[in-house]
Amino acid sequence: MSDTQAQAYYADGGELLAPVLGALQAAGRPTQAIDSDDLAGLDEFHGRGRSATIALLRKAGLQAGERVLDVGAGIGGPARVMARHFGAEICTVDPTARFVELALELNRRCGLDDAITVTRGEAAALPFGDGGFDLVVTQAVWASVADKGAMLAEARRVLRPGGRMAVFEILAGPAVDDFAYPVPWADIPEQNHLVTAEAARRLAVDAGLEPREWLTGVDALTATLAPDQAGDPLVVGGIEGVGLDLLMPEYETRMGTLGQNIMGGRIELLLAILGRA
């Protein structure tokens, strides 16, 4: 199954820009020259939101001027954070045409289109040359990628020697029975490609990526809470009414079943920094 097939329920539907602009307008915010931080509630398409993004980038030691590839970037929220607040040069890749189109338009309206290059493509076949990036980032992507070995090998290929990969992902937890659907990344079992922490680590090592930091479960959650608890100025919540429900089909249902799986021990978090030798 390709990434595009796994995310088929996102591929269909109406145009996405209008509801986003409508929500901003209803909140009394600009729609032509958008403050990218106003989009934080919509942009962070993963657990723990902006705080998790900042925690991951701090762990990765992202520096101004570094070249970053955001794989499975969705509508480009973390890319806008990296470009605006870290001064990095960003490329994004995502298989969903509607997300790519919205990312391009939001980047333009946020004044960040010169700093972010948006590309449509799949994680297991990246459309980039060898050794061109200092950092590869994935957040909430692995669950939708069937061939994680190919994805990780591709990440290593596009990293320069000494580069690193920053990962904030969902893994299969210790409980394996009665997984509840739909969840934000899958409607049915055939779209759900969760692996255990042990399997994920083995896949990374086999691809030539060395775990430098590997936090799972409570440790990963604690790490993502840290920027918010410390009052990091980059942790913002965005504008009320501009949230994931604008983009995610059956939002309440999916979030409800996600909660069931968390409480049932069927999923856990991973926050990791992997190095390329």
Phi, psi of 2 (to 5 degrees): -80, 165
CB 108 within 8 A of CB 138: no
Integer angstrom CA distances of residue 84 from 62, 101, 234, 274: 13, 20, 10, 24
CA dihedral 229, 196, 174, 10 (to 10 degrees): 70
N-to-C CA span, the chain = 30
CB 207 within 8 A of CB 156: yes
The pLDDT score that the predictor gives to residue 5 is 44
pTM for this predicted structure: 0.94
Strand-by-strand arrangement of the 89-94 sheet: 116-120, 89-94, 67-71, 133-139, 159-172, 267-276, 209-216
Q: What share of the chain is helix, strand, coil (3-state, %, to 5)?
A: 40, 20, 35
Q: What are the residue ranges spanned by the domains of the chain?
A: 3-276
Q: Treating both helix axes as pointing N-terminal to C-terminal, what angle do 49-60 and 217-229 enclose, rounded to 10 degrees?
A: 100
Count of beta carbons in the 10 Å neighbourhood of residue 268: 22
The pLDDT score that the predictor gives to residue 165 is 98
* Burial per residue of 6-40, b for 16 or more beta-carbon CB atoms within 10 angstroms, e otherwise: bbebbeeeeebbeebbebbeeeebeeeebbbbbbb
In order along the chain (277 residues), what is the average pLDDT of each group of 10 residues?
A: 48 79 97 97 90 97 98 97 98 96 98 98 97 98 96 98 97 90 95 96 98 97 96 95 92 95 95 95
The pLDDT score that the predictor gives to residue 1 is 34
CA 180 to chain centre: 22
Integer angstrom CA distances of residue 220 from 152, 169, 170: 20, 10, 10
Q: Which fold has domain 3-276?
A: Rossmann fold (3.40.50)
The pLDDT score that the predictor gives to residue 45 is 84
The pLDDT score that the predictor gives to residue 47 is 84
The pLDDT score that the predictor gives to residue 8 is 55
CB 258 within 8 A of CB 184: yes
Question: Is residue 214 classed exposed, middle or buried when 0-12, 13-18 and 19+ CB atoms within 10 A define those classes?
Answer: middle
User: What is the C-alpha R_g of the chain?
Assistant: 17
CB 60 within 8 A of CB 261: no
The pLDDT score that the predictor gives to residue 12 is 58
The pLDDT score that the predictor gives to residue 68 is 98
The pLDDT score that the predictor gives to residue 138 is 98
The pLDDT score that the predictor gives to residue 7 is 54
